[in-house]
Homo-oligomer: A and B are copies of this chain.
Amino acid sequence: MSRLRSHLEETFQALKAKLRSIHHLRDTAALLSWDQETYMPPGGGEARAEQLATLHTLAHEAFISPEVESLLAAFMDPATGTLHEPIASSWEEAPKALLRETWRDFHRAKKLPPAFVAELERTCALAQQAWIQAKQHNAFTEFLPHLRTIVRLKREEADYLGYTETRYDALLDTYEPHMTTSRLLPLFSTLREQLTALLARIQDSSHRPDTSFFCQAFPPTQQLEVSRHILTAMGYDFAKGRLDISAHPFTTSFHPTDVRITTRLDERNPTVCLFSVLHEGGHALYEQGLPSEEYGTPLAEPVSLGIHESQSRLWENCVGRSQDFWQAYFPVLQQAFPTQLRNCSPEAWFRAVNFVQPSLIRVDADEVTYNLHIILRFELERALIEEDLPVEELPVQWQAKMQEYLGVRPAGDADGVLQDIHWAHGAFGYFPTYTIGNLCAAMLYRQACCDLPTLTRDIAQGQLLPLTHWLNTRVHRWGRQLSADELMTRITGHPISPEPFIRYLQEKYQYVYTL
């Protein structure tokens, strides 16, 4: 019996070692991508694409290998994931979660035939090139044939993966495990109703924050200095990370000890960099807060994209667009830009960064209108995957929905249906995770304020670490031990729901726009 247990323990360690080595491949691929976006010379692109393909293929092959299958079989029925006895009844939750989540990934990965994966990857690689061109030419028709193929392949993918209720669920589940359309529909419907109502009241208000001080010269060096200052205050560990510049801000992790952020810079508007850094800083704290000792296993992986986004949105919006935060950090900003911000105040700055205006571009949207952009995409991609919406009708549908939800109409495809790269990546089911992130951010921040009675006072004094530590212990260190809903329920007492987010917005904008 004890010899059996020790053999099982050895096999468990062997499984973890195998998972670690596969993760090294994935994280090496992540470094190839980071380098591509930051320091790679322009001529290196073609070879880099091949290197990335090689690494991804190897990691995929290593994961669905007979070796991993036979390691898993020591613990479970590899066809169903049912744990053997005495593991099921006597092992602790953490190693059982490791096995459960590894099986989940393995089982999903095995369902996709390698030839299909290769075809999808090739199609998306070409589609991304076409998307860049089509966007430059403001011409959806150039992208149309590629998108048509992708939609066909994504439907096939959903059928390979399988689903209980709707085909779209199979894709959604890739980014937000266990989430379903039937859970999202009522949630998004409440949200849309409440947000359009709030937006109408804001648009009727005679108050308008003054945003005139954004449009001046803000030297990049000082912008980055303030950014580093804020990141350090958040608890982002520069000994285990760095901040660089790229065209689109992102966070990438090669290990919890090497988590890097990029930001973009607009010399005429420092909020672009500041809010990028708060956002990516939130993502990065999650990655730095995952348990190093479990590296390579699901216990050191984020729960879902929605929970990941909750971390970035919490810092960017709940904290970074709060009165408390700017009470402490506006003076820092003013010290960096004394001339530019001479006639501004913490209060005026707080109001300015909460300016609301329906606009065409999702990534530039304010907190009120942002989720309407998401709901629009969610509805359209569901229609493509489930209701046979002809792909060529997308631009017209896009225009109609923009008019209906936001009251604005894109002049062309570049500002409309072509603005996001996600569909060219084949990332159907990804967009909803942005909104899930916003909802969870508000739920978590509300709970943090309950658990830490001095939190807002701390923030107003520049002390951000209490919040970071709260997030570390409540969210980060758990990895994938719980699902997103389970995690939110354990922390806040409720599964993912829209009410705290709506209340948060109502309270803030009642104040800012004197509603």
A-to-B contact residues, CB < 8 Å: 20-21, 24-25, 27-28, 31-32, 35, 39-44, 46-48, 50-51, 54-55, 58, 237-242, 244, 254-255, 257-258, 260, 295
Given contacts A20-B50, A31-B31, A51-B27, contact A41 B254 (CB under 8 A): no
Query: Could you give 23 example pairs across A and B, Cβ below 8 Å?
Result: A21-B54, A24-B51, A24-B55, A27-B47, A28-B32, A31-B32, A35-B35, A39-B39, A40-B258, A41-B238, A41-B240, A41-B241, A41-B257, A42-B239, A43-B240, A43-B257, A43-B258, A44-B254, A44-B255, A44-B258, A47-B257, A48-B254, A51-B254
**Bound CA–CA A37/B297 (angstroms):** 28
**Bound CA–CA A237/B43 (angstroms):** 9
Q: How far is the CB of A301 from chain B (nearest CB, A)?
A: 15
**Bound CA–CA A40/B28 (angstroms):** 13
Q: Which residue of B has the minimal Cβ distance to A22?
A: B54
**Bound CA–CA A31/B32 (angstroms):** 8
Q: In the bound complex, do residue A54 and residue B24 qualify as a contact, i.e. CB atoms below 8 Å apart?
A: yes
Which listed residue (B25, B35, B255) contacts A47, Cβ 8 A?
Answer: B255
Given contacts A24-B55, A54-B21, contact A39 B242 (CB under 8 A): yes
Q: In the bound complex, do residue A31 and residue B35 qualify as a contact, i.e. CB atoms below 8 Å apart?
A: yes
Q: Which residue of B has the minimal Cβ distance to A51?
A: B24
**Bound CA–CA A46/B258 (angstroms):** 10
Interface centre among A46, A258, A260, A295 (most CB of B within 10 A): A258
Interface centre among A54, A239, A260 (most CB of B within 10 A): A54
Q: In the bound complex, do residue B28 and residue A50 qualify as a contact, i.e. CB atoms below 8 Å apart?
A: no
Apart from A41-B240, A44-B254, 17 more pairs, CB < 8 Å? A21-B54, A24-B50, A24-B51, A24-B54, A25-B54, A27-B51, A28-B55, A39-B39, A41-B238, A41-B239, A43-B240, A44-B255, A44-B258, A47-B254, A47-B258, A48-B258, A51-B255
**Bound CA–CA A239/B58 (angstroms):** 29
When distances are taken between beta carbons in the complex, the residues of chain B under 8 Å from A25 are 54-55, 58
Q: Which residue of B has the minimal Cβ distance to A42?
A: B239
**Bound CA–CA A28/B240 (angstroms):** 21
Q: Which residue of B has the minimal Cβ distance to A241?
A: B41
When distances are taken between beta carbons in the complex, the residues of chain B under 8 Å from A54 are 21, 24-25, 28
Q: How far is the CB of A254 from chain B (nearest CB, A)?
A: 7
Q: How far is the CB of A273 from chain B (nearest CB, A)?
A: 20
When distances are taken between beta carbons in the complex, the residues of chain B under 8 Å from A254 are 44, 47-48, 51
Which listed residue (B32, B48, B58) contacts A58, Cβ 8 A?
Answer: B58
Q: In the bound complex, do residue B47 and residue A295 qualify as a contact, i.e. CB atoms below 8 Å apart?
A: yes
Q: In the bound complex, do residue A242 and residue B24 qualify as a contact, i.e. CB atoms below 8 Å apart?
A: no
Given contacts A35-B31, A35-B35, contact A240 B44 (CB under 8 A): yes
**Bound CA–CA A244/B244 (angstroms):** 15
A-B residue pairs, 4 tightest by C-beta:
A44-B258, A47-B255, A43-B240, A24-B54
Q: Which residue of B has the minimal Cβ distance to A260?
A: B41
**Bound CA–CA A239/B21 (angstroms):** 34
When distances are taken between beta carbons in the complex, the residues of chain B under 8 Å from A238 are 41
Q: How far is the CB of A241 from chain B (nearest CB, A)?
A: 6
Q: Which residue of B has the minimal Cβ distance to A50?
A: B24
**Bound CA–CA A294/B25 (angstroms):** 25
**Bound CA–CA A254/B31 (angstroms):** 13
Q: Which residue of B has the minimal Cβ distance to A45?
A: B257
**Bound CA–CA A92/B509 (angstroms):** 77
Interface centre among A43, A58, A238, A260 (most CB of B within 10 A): A43
